[in-house]
Structure 1
Amino acid sequence: MRFVTPLKKAYGLGTVKHGWHHWLQQRLTALALIPLCIWLAFTLVKLSQQAYQSVVAWFQQPLNTVLLSLFIILGIYHACLGVQVIIEDYVHTPSRRVVTLMAVKGSLIALGTYSLISVGFIAF
């Protein structure tokens, strides 16, 4: 009979570094999205009272186009990371997990691509 403490047993379960990269990316994208969300909220409030031509002129300014594109890219990537964790935790059948991950990631990539193309059409 072997006496093994719970801590000793936990050390043998594998490396702790497995989810570190994913966790760090999610936190960094969240931090980057904070100022972008604040910027976008103030901008949308300001633009809500403007005419169509003023909004298009706003989109055509390079800084605004870059910031909006960055918001879209980081937002979609952050959503992809978060949904991946939820699916991996709650979808238990491996085949369903793979299909669900592929469907959700494909949908998010399509949404991001469509959004960036739309911003590009308006800006240029």
Structure 2
Amino acid sequence: MKKAHRLGGIKAGQHHWWLQRVTAIALIPLTLWVVFSLASLIGQDYLTVKIWFTLPHHTVLSVLFIVTAAYHASLGLQVIVEDYIHHLGIKQAILITLRFLLILLGTLCTIVLLRLAFVS
């Protein structure tokens, strides 16, 4: 019990577990949509791809995929770090770095998609 002190309650772990499952389930149709959509764009010129991204449902689904994938990755990587890194300082530094990088990656990808969709 002494080692379990300050690790959070069981409800925090349960909530984290559910969020991983919900994002994984959400990623199934989103990933299928991304794969088939990108496959249909192979060999197309830039203008065709740009027009494709200007359609609102394509833009929304693309951003939704990026945000969901980044959040799901964050949840999964957090579990890996918490399970296998035992030094508290290193663990916290890695978690902060990972979260920052995933937020940065998700934000940059979203900005690129929105610029592609809305800027001529």
TM-score between both structures, scaled by the size of structure 1:
0.86
Of residues 23, 27, 31, the one that matches 1:29 is: 23
Gaps of 5+ in 1: 1-13
Residue identity matched to 2:25: L
Other-structure match for 1:68? 62
Gaps of 5+ in 2: 1-7
Q: CA deviation at 1:16?
A: 4.0
CA distance in 1, matches of 2:16, 2:51: 38
C-alpha RMSD over aligned residues:
1.3
Of residues 79, 104, 112, the one that matches 1:110 is: 104
Q: Of the two, which has the highest radius of gyration?
A: 1
CA distance in 2, matches of 1:64, 1:27: 24
| Percentage identity across paired residues of the two chains | 47
Q: CA deviation at 1:49?
A: 2.3
Residue identity matched to 2:92: V
Other-structure match for 1:54? 48
Q: CA deviation at 1:15?
A: 5.7
Residue identity matched to 2:24: A
CA distance in 1, matches of 2:77, 2:19: 13
Equivalent residues, number: 111
Ranges of 4+ aligned residues in structure 1 off by more than 2 Å? 14-18
CA distance in 2, matches of 1:18, 1:120: 34
